[in-house]
């Protein structure tokens, strides 16, 4: 199948943000992946509502918002109002995960659950039928440009089996270390959505790189 490609805003050039967003608009990208970090759950701080609202004025692609924050519930509606098409929360931070997923749906967004590299796929057993997306971290969350964790392939296989067993329609999103050397294997293993940050934004031709990840062009 043709994957969904979601360039990661975290790796864009914030000194030329409008230029990079227009590049995404003009590319074969499907979504824009937006990482929100609080400096508590992960050792970094990133985008807040003013930036996301400004991005929404320019970007034409759906915004896939990934909340790497503790206690996301009070902010869900505000993220949807700011333009989020989908919201993924971390299973490691949500005490009442079903309630959080219901709140995302009620606010009008697609509901996703993110899992860290050390979190077993089996933890998703009781929620997988209620969500639209699993954001599988293939690096330790918090920073872009990290090395891909090879065990991710085994986790994709296990997650695909769980999705089929539970008759879920959840998409498998891979976030971290996706590049031109591993994207084809990720798709073959079962990935539906590829989040690509440095691979896209440090490329000499970002639009061409996005097209390659989509399978629309062959790498030279």
The set of catalytic residues is: 35, 175
In angstroms, rounded to a whole number, what is the distance separating the alpha carbons of residues 66 and 34?
6
User: Do residues 42 and 142 touch, judged by C-beta distance below 8 A?
Assistant: yes
**For 187, phi and psi rounded to 5 degrees?**
-65, -45
Contacts of 171 (CB under 8 A, 6+ apart): 4, 132, 133, 134, 192, 193
Residue 158 three-state SS: helix
Nearest Cα residue to 93 out of 64, 77, 115, 123: 115
User: Do residues 151 and 134 touch, judged by C-beta distance below 8 A?
Assistant: no
In angstroms, rounded to a whole number, what is the distance separating the alpha carbons of residues 24 and 140?
25
Half-sphere exposure of 58 (CA within 13 A, CB side): 17
């Amino acid at each position: 199948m043709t994957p969904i490609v979601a360039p990661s805003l975290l790796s864009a050039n914030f000194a030329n943000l409008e230029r990079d967003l227009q590049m995404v608009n003009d590319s074969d990208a499907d979504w824009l992946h937006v990482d929100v970090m609080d400096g508590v759950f992960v050792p970094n701080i990133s985008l807040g509502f003013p930036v996301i609202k400004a991005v929404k004025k320019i970007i034409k692609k759906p915004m896939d918002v990934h909340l790497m924050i503790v206690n996301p519930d009070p902010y869900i509606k505000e993220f949807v109002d700011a333009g989020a098409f989908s919201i993924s929360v971390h299973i490691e931070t949500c005490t009442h995960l079903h309630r959080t997923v219901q709140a995302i749906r009620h606010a009008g967004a697609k509901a996703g659950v993110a899992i860290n590299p050390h979190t077993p796929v089996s933890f998703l057993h009781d929620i997988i039928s209620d969500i639209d997306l699993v954001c599988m971290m293939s690096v330790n969350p918090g920073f872009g440009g990290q090395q891909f964790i090879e065990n991710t392939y085994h986790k994709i296989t296990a997650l695909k089996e769980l999705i089929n067993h539970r008759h879920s329609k959840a998409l498998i999103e891979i976030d971290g270390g996706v590049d031109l050397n591993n994207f084809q294997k990720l798709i073959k293993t079962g990935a539906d959505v590829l989040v690509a940050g440095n691979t896209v934004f440090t490329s000499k031709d970002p639009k061409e790189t996005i097209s390659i990840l989509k399978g629309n062009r062959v790498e030279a």
